[in-house]
Amino acid sequence: MTGPPTVLTNPPPLVVLGAGYAGLTVAEEARRRSRGTLPIVLVDRHPVHVLRTQLYEIGALARANGRVARWVVPLADLLDRSGVTLREGTVEAIDLERRTVRVDDAELAFGTLAICLGNVANYYGVPGAREHTETVYRLSGAQRLAGALRRIEAASAGLPGEQRPRVVVVGGGSTGTELAAEVATTDWSEVVGGPARPPDVFLLTGSLPFLAGFAPSLIDRARRTLVHSGVAIVPGINVTEVEPNRVHLADGTVLACDLAVWCAGLEAPAVVRDLPAPHGKGGRLVPEPTLELPGRPGVFAVGDVVEFADRESGLLVPATAQAALSEARVAARNVVARIEGRSLEPYRYRERGMLVALGVRRGAGRIGGVTLWGRPARLLKGAVEREYSRTAERGEPSGLL
């Protein structure tokens, strides 16, 4: 039999860094768990929550031509209803000893802290990659890519002979795969409102396995679907240099292109890599099983910024929205437990399924032991994304992720 709920009396604030999938969920769940008695400050550079898992929809972004309401949820609307305070600004530094965060030119003190700053593109020191490629890891990057594709496709009808635009996508994970498929299957004539030639799309998967972490049957079907859609997959060869309109490969091949997109990997942002805490690959934080940083009570790391090995399988938890949301719920419960002096619970990853978009009307996935292909998989992926967007707008937890 449980007693009456603990009432928090003037607790110091929970500061949540980052309003992505992890950060927004930590803030909302901690508010619910504390019954609104815990002051919460959510810090982000932008006034919107970006639906990053949908930024691969590059054809739709190009068609929208700057209208991005479909891919964002205004934070002011959400937080007005929740009582969480939004602090708009850039996190410049985190002082774990003094328990402060520098946001632009101001210091923000915290009692408990959730670091949910996500990741940034990792260029692995490849010369020219940062300067001469586009990305889709941020809304601003996806918008630049969409604009570049519009311009290239609008001019494509004037190319000599049968020449078509060429787009090179670097990275064979889910982001690169979904983007390559979307570019290849978008009706660019409809997007630009006139004649346009479909692009030749090359997907350079590099030395890492194509769609690592997916079931072999899904990988095989995804590969065949991409090829059928006109995507040329180049496996096993890393990029060594990028120049304007030229991508150099380790075997000496040089691919001319109109556009190169970097989807080859992520790393923690510099403000996280600089922290005096255990780090894993790409500077990600390695927390305790409770998602607290070792030796730092009340400081939690959540989402893509974390390298977390599942205690049962020993495998790393994937950097997906599904994982970020499940981590965030446990972290929020542990924030309140830490303040109330109760025991913290360990995080255990339970995958609910995997879905990957393979073009405008195709996909592949596995949910609860059931494998889906083609249009049903794509429809289900879209339904999951729409359900998350609707629940986020209402400030409610997603029932599907």
Residues 6+ apart with CB under 8 A from 166: 199, 200, 201, 202, 255, 256, 257, 258, 259
What would the mean pLDDT of 190-205 be, rounded to a whole number? 97
What would the mean pLDDT of 22-42 be, rounded to a whole number? 94
Helical pair 216-228 and 174-185, crossing angle rounded to 10 deg: 30
Identical fold, 14-45+89-119+268-351 and 129-264: yes
Please tell me the distance from the alpha carbon of residue 358 to that of residue 260, in angstroms, as a whole number: 19
pLDDT at 381: 85
Contact 262, 121 (CB under 8 A): yes
CATH class of 14-45+89-119+268-351: alpha beta
Q: How confident is the model over 116-131, as pLDDT tens digits? A: 999 999 999 999 999 9
Q: 397: pLDDT confidence band, cut at 50, 70 and 90? A: low
**Is pLDDT at 2 greater than 60 in this prediction?**
no
Lowest mean pLDDT among 83-87, 144-148, 288-292, 395-399: 395-399
**What does the chain come to in residues?**
401
Q: How confident is the model over 307-334, as pLDDT tens digits? A: 998 877 777 888 888 899 999 999 999 9
Q: Give the type of residue at 21.
A: Y
Q: 3: pLDDT confidence band, cut at 50, 70 and 90? A: very low
Please tell me the distance from the alpha carbon of residue 218 to that of residue 228, in angstroms, as a whole number: 15
Q: 372: pLDDT confidence band, cut at 50, 70 and 90? A: confident
Q: 36: pLDDT confidence band, cut at 50, 70 and 90? A: confident
User: What is the percentage of the chain residues whose pLDDT exceeds 90?
Assistant: 72
What would the mean pLDDT of 363-367 be, rounded to a whole number? 83
Tokens of 224: 């065949």
The mean pLDDT value of the chain amounts to 91
pLDDT at 62: 96
Tokens of 331: 């972290």
**Is pLDDT at 286 greater than 90 in this prediction?**
yes
The domain at 129-264 falls in which architecture?
A: 3-Layer(bba) Sandwich (3.50)
Which position has the higher pLDDT, 32 or 385?
32
Q: 394: pLDDT confidence band, cut at 50, 70 and 90? A: low
Q: How confident is the model over 73-128, as pLDDT tens digits? A: 999 888 876 779 999 999 999 999 999 999 998 999 999 999 999 999 999 999 99
pLDDT at 5: 45
pLDDT at 386: 81
pLDDT at 6: 46
Q: 1: pLDDT confidence band, cut at 50, 70 and 90? A: very low
315 forms bridges with which residues in the sheet? none
Sign of CA dihedral 319, 325, 330, 336: positive
User: What residue has token string 């970097």?
Assistant: 262
CA angle 103, 106, 110 (to 5 degrees): 70
Q: How confident is the model over 210-246, as pLDDT tens digits? A: 988 788 888 888 999 999 999 999 999 999 999 999 9
Element (H, E) at 158: none
Classify 286 as helix, strand or coil: coil
State the pTM of this model: 0.91
**Is pLDDT at 12 greater than 90 in this prediction?**
no
Please tell me the distance from the alpha carbon of residue 264 to that of residue 254, in angstroms, as a whole number: 18
pLDDT at 399: 55
Q: 380: pLDDT confidence band, cut at 50, 70 and 90? A: confident
Q: How confident is the model over 135-193, as pLDDT tens digits? A: 999 999 999 999 999 999 999 999 999 999 999 999 999 999 999 999 999 999 999 99
Candidates 378, 230, 397; CA nearest to 322 is 397
Q: 390: pLDDT confidence band, cut at 50, 70 and 90? A: confident
Question: Domain boundaries in the chain?
Answer: 14-45+89-119+268-351, 129-264
